Amino acid sequence: MANATVASSLPPLPAYETRPYPDVLPFISDFWLSLVLPHIAYWVMSAIFHIIDIYDLFPQYRLHTPEEITQRNLASRYEVFRDVIFEQILQVGMSAFLSLTEERQQTGMEDYDVAVWATRIRIAQRALPTILGVLGLNAATISKNMASTYPLLAGALAGGHYPFLTTALDGMTGTAVPTFATWEILLAKAMYWVVVPTFQMWLAVCFLDTWQYFWHRAMHVNKWMYTKWHARHHRLYVPYAYGALYNHPVEGFLLDTVGAGLAYKASFLTPRMGMAFFVGSMMKTVDDHCGYKLPWDPLQHITSNNAAYHDIHHQSWGIKTNFSQPFFTIWDRLLGTRWEGDAQQKYERTRTAASQKKAAASSSTAAAKPSPAEIAKAE
């Protein structure tokens, strides 16, 4: 083996044969699962928060009192439910369109893709001697001195030269076939399975945040768009979970449906990554409208854009701030639209006003009710 010649400094890429990914669940195809799973997540989360609301399970974490919900909101529960269902029908249609434009996700070439990344890592090592030379170091000398004790490090410093890393002789040519170092394969796997998918998800999130911030802000700046479209969402001064998608159909389609679809395409997510992205976005949107500041809710601690942050935007005194949604607050911070005042005092005033209004209504009802003496006299 030591005397054999090596045909190429780069290891060959493995052969592969692709086949369709098996469905995630045996009783439903991935196509249909991608259509319904985000909306199942929406209604499951909404149901949980609705139960918390109805039974008043965590009153200490409420952003608003029950009196505020009944007195301040201008849309009925039925109107909210109706409009949400309509928007979800539009979203199902868009999801079906996106799915039909994608080929079915394949498996079987993962080892090949990892080897491609390992090849890139090997080629990138060729720049190390030049970089060390710029720093005044002789890569060849350093590599030679380290060859016996740290052969892998010496090979990297030599520009990715590993003459001792070979497999069996090639049956056709009689030459030794080079192979990758263990560290190259491990790094390649990390790139393929972790770094690249994480970057794609981050890109999708940033795209959606940017899309929604500027359209959302435009709908507040442009009076026509606000009056015709966005004002409907602000009929909920006191948001609750299943009202998250309570929008005018045009706004819902433009901000949520088109925005998420473009984010999916722009970041080159795979169909299954897209499914995770859509479900995650839906859950985050519901959580941002839940009306609770829950200390044990992970979605409220991933970023500072949470239910308490977005709720300020739904108040008359904060409606021109906190446009960012649904993930980060970067655009509000960069463009000076983040709420900076004392929100606690304003919340206390609205709670007090709602409580006083309820008390006044109760007093009026009691005053209007005839006393027993008046009833007897009338008889």
Instruction: Indicate whether 170 pLDDT > 90.
Output: no
Reduce the secondary structure of the chain to three states and give it as a string. CCCCCECCCCCCCCCCCCEECCCCECCECHHHHHHHHHHHHHHHHHHHHHHHHHCCCCHHHECCCHHHHHHHCCCCHHHHHHHHHHHHHHHHHHHHHHHHCCCCCEECCHHHHHHHHHHHHHHHHHHHHHHHHHCCCCHHHHHHHHCCCCHHHHHHHCCCCCCCCEEEECCCCCCEEECCCHHHHHHHHHHHHHHHHHHHHHHHHHHHHHHHHHHHHHHHHCHHHHHHCHHHHHHCCCCCHHHCCCCCHHHHHHHHHHHHHHHHHHCCCCHHHHHHHHHHHHHHHHHHCCCECCCCCHHHCCCCCCHHHHHHHCCCCCCCCCCCCCCCCHHHHHHCCCCCCCHHHHHHHHHHHHHHHHHHHHHHHHHHCCCHHHHHHHC
Confidence band for 357, pLDDT divided at 50, 70 and 90 = confident
What does the mean pLDDT of the chain come to? Answer: 90
Distance CA 47, CA 44 (A): 5
pLDDT one-digit tens code per residue, 61-77:
999 988 888 889 999 99
Confidence band for 370, pLDDT divided at 50, 70 and 90 = low
Instruction: Indicate whether 379 pLDDT > 90.
Output: no
pLDDT for the residue 342:
87
Of 11, 13, 9, 10, whose CA–CA distance to 114 is shortest? 13
Of residues 351 and 7, the one with the higher pLDDT is 351
pLDDT for the residue 3:
40
Instruction: Indicate whether 171 pLDDT > 70.
Output: no
Of 327, 301, 310, whose CA–CA distance to 243 is shortest? 310
Instruction: Indicate whether 1 pLDDT > 60.
Output: no
Confidence band for 365, pLDDT divided at 50, 70 and 90 = low
pLDDT one-digit tens code per residue, 195-234:
999 999 999 999 999 999 999 999 999 999 999 999 999 9
Residue ranges per domain, the chain?
Answer: 37-106+194-347, 110-187
Instruction: Indicate whether 182 pLDDT > 50.
Output: yes
The model's pTM is 0.88
Q: Mean pLDDT, to the nearest integer, of 3-20?
A: 75
pLDDT one-digit tens code per residue, 310-323:
999 999 999 999 99
Structure tokens at 32: 């249909």
pLDDT one-digit tens code per residue, 227-281:
999 999 999 999 999 999 999 999 999 999 999 999 999 999 999 999 999 999 9
Q: Mean pLDDT, to the nearest integer, of 325-344?
A: 94
pLDDT for the residue 374:
59
Which residues have CB under 8 Å from 334's CB, separation 6+?
none
pLDDT one-digit tens code per residue, 93-134:
999 998 998 888 999 999 999 999 999 999 999 999 999 999
Least confident of 140-149, 150-159, 357-366: 357-366
pLDDT one-digit tens code per residue, 32-70:
999 999 999 999 999 999 999 999 999 999 999 888 888
Q: What percent of the chain has pLDDT over 90?
A: 74
